[in-house]
Structure 1
């Protein structure tokens, strides 16, 4: 029996397939859905494993998908095919077991056992101890990741040559335009939407940011969720100097900070003029708010709540449901159709200030349900009038 070039366990491919089934997702450039893949599942999985082991897995182009952003711009995703997602997932599982233990404790994005809520909770705790926050925004981060630095980091951690081979191929895979099908070659960046991309992005920022902070600003706390970063400072002057040095650091690794979105904010119960007094992190606005305790007494504290942009998106989504036209459906029908979506919103945005978010959410829904009830009431009233007149 001929020995394979690379020893890749079949179990990795099978586990990755199970991950892809759970996550579902849209088809890539070949149009193959998961249902179509499953029609010859065993044969397809064997082909993936065989080609990975022989070094002949060449990823097809990723399919461009444009997602509108709240600022009017678009986020560009690169969607791999179902088969390529499985191949990426197998290699990602191999790498993750070796790389995740070395990552910084305050790196939260796309890591086993860590979540956005963990990052938000730590951020809220530190806002009570530090008065100033540097909110960092990296311009088009996933589009500017340097391939040579990622491969250098992988090699530094002793990754076998087949890992380097496939990571290079995935990072360099062309993108197929969603408008005309044209192939766009890539010399930097890692496709947002790829299975392996978040892990490679974390590895890149582990060296570009996390370890740099440990070396240059030991003791200065931060939270990083992928490329969303918040740094806590005791004084405004500290935050200003750090902002300048961080800009230079990012420039040295091929990144740049978004000047319009990288801000310094003052978060304290003592009022201060001519400075920003809030910042946004992972869909939450952090600011000092006036609240009531269980005795009804007022007090001021930093409390994270659903951001204005998040509430805007939620309201637009609810408007899109066109509840006012559902006059032929019962409340039970409405609940069956939309409860899962609303439950997801509450689970994410109601974590820290449940009463406030649930009130804002139900206000948006109930006002529309009231209109439906009024329309039904008018119909019944008109029907009764008609019966009386006859």
Structure 2
């Protein structure tokens, strides 16, 4: 990622990078290389590229709320990319224990907590809201698992999950960190 003050300057820097890499017999991956405009409340110009993905984050203009006066404004900010949110939800869905009602909830927690620690450590810094939305999949899966295990309806399984959460707030790492 390279920052520039104008599209022309960014183009010159990109060309210089291409030349330098060619000197050491390397190439830029063209499908991953683009010049994007960092649109926010101060920069209101129109450009064809206003977002890009880098290291699992999607950088694009987003509505933010000021902590000082509560007013909304546009910021060029990072959040988990849609592809990585989808990947997190798929990894949660692929846990083999969801269909096994013979196991205890502690085994499911043991299986997921290492991944949860990693996701929260990496994505929790900048995109709490979108990470929370992805991690809510776990609670949804736990509700389904409790329904099958105890042969109860949706409301009773939600109440049972809430009582488990209150009794053991540190069972799942995302509960401990306050994500659900």
Q: TM-score, normalised by structure 1?
A: 0.35
Aligned 1:221-236 pairs, distance under 5 A: 230-236=1-7
Cα offset, 1:267, TM superposition? 0.9
Cα distance in 2 for residues equivalent to 1:272 and 1:369: 46
Which residue number corresponds to residue 362 of structure 1?
A: 135
**1:335 pairs with 2:91:** no
Give the direction of change, closer, same or farther, for the CA distance of 1:317–1:244 in structure 2 (3 Å limit). Answer: same
SS in 2 for 1:356: helix
Q: Which has the higher contact order (CA 8 A, sep 6+)?
A: 1
What residue is the counterpart of 1:300 in the other structure?
Answer: 74
1:291 pairs with one of 64, 75, 91: 64
Check conservation: 1:265, 1:279, Cα contact below 8 A. Answer: yes
Q: Over residues 52-94 of structure 1, what are the superposed CA-to-partner deviations in whole Å (9 max), with x where a residue is unaligned?
A: xxxxxxxxxxxxxxxxxxxxxxxxxxxxxxxxxxxxxxxxxxx
Q: Which runs of 4+ in 1 moved over 6 A?
A: none
Alignment CA distance shift 1:380-1:296 (3 Å): same
Partner SS, residue 264 of structure 1:
coil
C-alpha separation between the residues in 1 aligned to 2:80 and 2:7? 26
Does the 8 Å contact 2:97/2:103 carry over to 1? no
Q: Report the counterpart of residue 178 of structure 2 in structure 1.
A: none
| CA positional deviation for 1:263 | 0.7
Partner of 1:253: 24
Asked whether the 8 Å contact 2:50–2:60 carries over to 1, the reply is: yes
Does the Cα contact within 8 Å between 2:89 and 2:135 map onto a contact in 1? Answer: no
Partner of 2:148: 375
Q: 1:236 to 1:374 in 2, by over 3 A?
A: same
- CA drift of 1:275 comes to 1.9
Question: Deviations along 1:102-136, whole A, 9 cap, x unmatched?
Answer: xxxxxxxxxxxxxxxxxxxxxxxxxxxxxxxxxxx
Contact 2:53–2:59, Cα closer than 8 Å, also in 1: yes
Alpha-carbon distance, 1:292 to partner:
2.4
Shift of 1:242: 2.0
CA shift, 1:363, in A, is 1.9
Match of 1:240 in 2: 11
Structure 1: which 5+ runs fail to align?
1-229, 382-390
Partner residue of 1:262?
33
Aligned pairs for 1:139-178 (under 5 A) are none
Q: Is the 8 A contact 1:323 1:372 kept in 2?
A: no
Are positions 1:347 and 2:118 aligned together?
Answer: no
Tell whether the 8 Å contact from 1:283 to 1:310 is kept in structure 2 after alignment: yes
Q: Report the equivalent of 2:53.
A: 280
Residues 132-211 of structure 1: matches in 2 within 5 Å? Answer: none
Instruction: Please give the per-residue CA displacement for 1:147-197, whole angstroms capped at 9, x wherever unaligned.
Output: xxxxxxxxxxxxxxxxxxxxxxxxxxxxxxxxxxxxxxxxxxxxxxxxxxx
Quick check: 1:267–1:287 contact (8 Å CA) kept in 2? yes
State the shift of 1:344 in Å.
1.3
Q: Distance in 1 between matches of 2:143 and 2:64?
A: 30
Q: TM-score, normalised by structure 2?
A: 0.72
CA deviation after TM superposition for structure 1 residue 331, in Å: 2.5
User: Is there any run of 5+ residues in structure 2 with no aligned partner, and where?
Assistant: 154-180
Deviation at 1:274, TM superposition (A): 4.1
